[in-house]
Chain A
Amino acid sequence: MLDIYTWSVLIVAVFFTVFGSFSYLRNRKELMNKLFALLSLAFAMWSYTWFALLLTRENEQIAFLWARLLNIGAIFIPIFYFHWVLSLLDLHKKKKILVISGYLVTLLFFVLSFSDKYVTGVHSILSFPFWPTAGPLYKWFLIFGYLCMVGYSLYLLFKAFNKSEGEKKYQIGYVIIGSLMGFGGGAMNFPLMYNIDIIPPFGVFAIIACPLILSYAVIKYHLMNTKVATVEILSALISAVLLVDALLSSGTEFYLKFGLFIGVVIFSIILIHSVLKETRSREKIIKLAKSLKKANIELQKLDKAKSEFISIASHQLRTPVSVIKGITSMMIEGDLEKFPIEKKNRFIEGLWNKSCKLENIINDILNATEMTNFKYRVKKEKAELIDLEELIKKTISDFQSIIKKKGVDVILKKSIKSLPRINGQKQYLQEAFSNLIDNAIKYTSSKGKIVISITKKENNVIISIEDNGIGIPKEEIPGLFIKFIRGSNAREMYTDGSGLGLFIVREVIEGHYGKVWMESELNKGTTFFISLPIHSSKKINVKNHIIND
């Protein structure tokens, strides 16, 4: 009858075989899985031969053979472990030279292991009739394999554990615990090889946990659900116990138990397969739910921006309406007749101003709606050659009264003498410039400065509008060219903005095969850049548009 110790060694061997194969079969292409399979193979060889050695009770020659084979398995454990840890920590490429050197030294020990100076023979110790006897070369292996390879691997693991977070931290933690149990347990065998019997080699019980923990870490790393990993490990455990139980029986009982083992293996495979399928579909659903959630948040944002736009736009529309309504009602009630002609004229002027404003706002909204329905492109039949400098000057002059009122300094800079004309739709380009200049004025405090520069870069005309206003928070810049979106600080500080301005600018400029982009620093100012191709048929490259004036 086998004692519990020998049983444990067999369990270790079976565990490493099962988990090594699992890891390899799960992903044959992944280096980490391949290395784990090799590590398990080395561990399995070491434990199977150890099991065989424990079973050998009388023949010393055979025991010596097992003892040698046992140590061949042991020689490969450190290097495979080291290489596996490096691949786990994604350091295998960085430490390539160390890996190659490790393999070369391991091969040297493999060759040396056939010499009598490595394992010299077997001796009896404690209750074991045969135990390998270490030769003078063996200590070098211990120094190289355990102290250098395993020690360094553990050092790297601890270092990575301290640095990592979340899932990865757990995984490294498992590997550290598994390694300490495996190598700690295994190390208890060495004193006996030197005939030191202070500690009985009970470490084997700790080694049993090693393949379990290491496999768990490997499986979990591949983002396999814990549920799948648990089912796999439990199935493997049950199968292993059943196999050992079957192998230890004889006659009809063996066939029955072996049949049961096969049945359980088949059932386990089906079970794992279905759990895996369920997990994958669940992962898919989770992914889908996440993207839906994201889309929903975006929609909510747009919805919020839209209602904000509606309330601002309605305010914008109501203001001229209230003036028109107020003045006409006073006309109807005969109030205006009570005023002198100069005052009466001011009322009529007010009517005219507000009618124009109303028209502009309506145009703004209609243009934006039109641009949403189809991508705007400059219409050839409506295009004309435009002098940009003249157009910008005219746009600035339209703002003259506001500029004067606010006390803002507007400077127009031109870096080349004769600017080529641009083929485009004047009315739209003017609207785009007007929106940008309007923005610059609105978001610049009184006595601020706005610099408008026109320059030529390769085949493009570059216009920059720089203000020293409130700036835009960095995280909000990407969304600004979207309809209805305004900077959060622009929302707090109310201006006439409809939230459509930059959207229209982008549509108009892109419709002219140009590009618009911006740079901004909070509380320091914003610069908008417009690049328009001189020959609009050519597509432009934004990366080339670096302003250097």
Chain B
Amino acid sequence: MTNNIKILLVEDDPDQILIYQSKFELEGFFLIVADNYKDAIKFALYDKPDLIMLDLLLGNENGLDVLDELKKNSKTSKIPVVVFTNFDTEETKDKAFKLGAIDYIVKAQVTPSEIVKKVRMIIEKFK
């Protein structure tokens, strides 16, 4: 069932990519990784993922701008975006939800299994 589910992980830390890619693939998801925002937009447009896990702080850019861009584009606006970051401030959280994020997960507060569970629930909801 999950084999058909395509997740786009926007992340630039190799250690974290290793963890989440391995875990999601173990759970039967199909994972695409973008280690920069340019690729993230590109993959979102052409690979049409079922869900995007978006890290907020990548290189010199702000992930909230990417979230805004994804939500403004009619081709990507329907894809649920989960902000997946260790940057945890009320202000950023508010902004992310206002821009259309479906959830805001602080990485350090969850284990990979818990994340998989959360993602499953969100996808179920959006089916």
Residues of B within 8 A of A335 (CB): 22-23, 26, 112
**A381 interfacial by beta-carbon distance below 8 Å:** no
B57 shortest CB reach to chain A, Å: 5
**A333 interfacial by beta-carbon distance below 8 Å:** yes
Instruction: Give 1 or 0 for each of B4-48: 1 = CB within 8 Å of chain A CB.
Output: 000000000111101110110010000000000000000000000
**A339 interfacial by beta-carbon distance below 8 Å:** yes
Docked complex Cα distance between A494 and B59 (Å) = 7
**A164 interfacial by beta-carbon distance below 8 Å:** no
- Once A315-B57, A318-B108, A338-B26 are accepted as A-B contacts, the answer to whether A353 and B15 lie under 8 Å apart by CB is yes
Interface residues on A, range: 20 to 34
| Beyond A319-B13, A343-B22, A346-B18, 18 extra complex contacts between A and B, CB < 8 Å | A311-B87, A311-B88, A315-B88, A318-B86, A318-B108, A322-B107, A323-B19, A326-B16, A326-B19, A326-B20, A330-B22, A330-B113, A335-B23, A347-B19, A354-B15, A492-B62, A493-B60, A494-B57
**B3 interfacial by beta-carbon distance below 8 Å:** no
Q: Which residues of A contact B (CB under 8 A)?
A: 311, 314-315, 318-319, 321-323, 325-327, 329-330, 333, 335, 338-339, 343, 346-347, 350, 353-354, 445, 492-495
Residues of A within 8 A of B74 (CB): none
Interface residues on B, range: 20 to 34
Docked complex Cα distance between A380 and B121 (Å) = 62
- Once A311-B88, A326-B111, A338-B26 are accepted as A-B contacts, the answer to whether A318 and B19 lie under 8 Å apart by CB is no
> Could you tell me the dominant secondary structure of chain A's interface residues?
helix
Docked complex Cα distance between A322 and B113 (Å) = 13
Q: A347 and B18: CB pair below 8 A?
A: yes
A-facing residues in B42-66 (Cβ within 8 Å):
57, 60-62
18 contacts between A and B (CB under 8 A): A311-B88, A315-B57, A318-B107, A318-B108, A319-B107, A322-B108, A323-B13, A325-B108, A325-B111, A326-B16, A326-B20, A326-B111, A329-B112, A333-B113, A346-B18, A347-B22, A494-B60, A494-B62
Docked complex Cα distance between A222 and B85 (Å) = 61
| CB closest chain-B residue, reference A336 | B22
Residues of A within 8 A of B18 (CB): 346-347, 350
A492 shortest CB reach to chain B, Å: 7
Q: A330 and B86: CB pair below 8 A?
A: no
| CB closest chain-B residue, reference A496 | B57
| CB closest chain-B residue, reference A443 | B60
Residues of A within 8 A of B106 (CB): 318
Docked complex Cα distance between A327 and B112 (Å) = 8
| CB closest chain-B residue, reference A327 | B19
Q: B13 and A329: CB pair below 8 A?
A: no
Residues of B within 8 A of A338 (CB): 26
| CB closest chain-B residue, reference A406 | B59
Residues of A within 8 A of B86 (CB): 314-315, 318-319, 322
Query: Among A322, A329, A354, A495, which residue has the most Cβ atoms of chain B within 10 A?
Result: A322
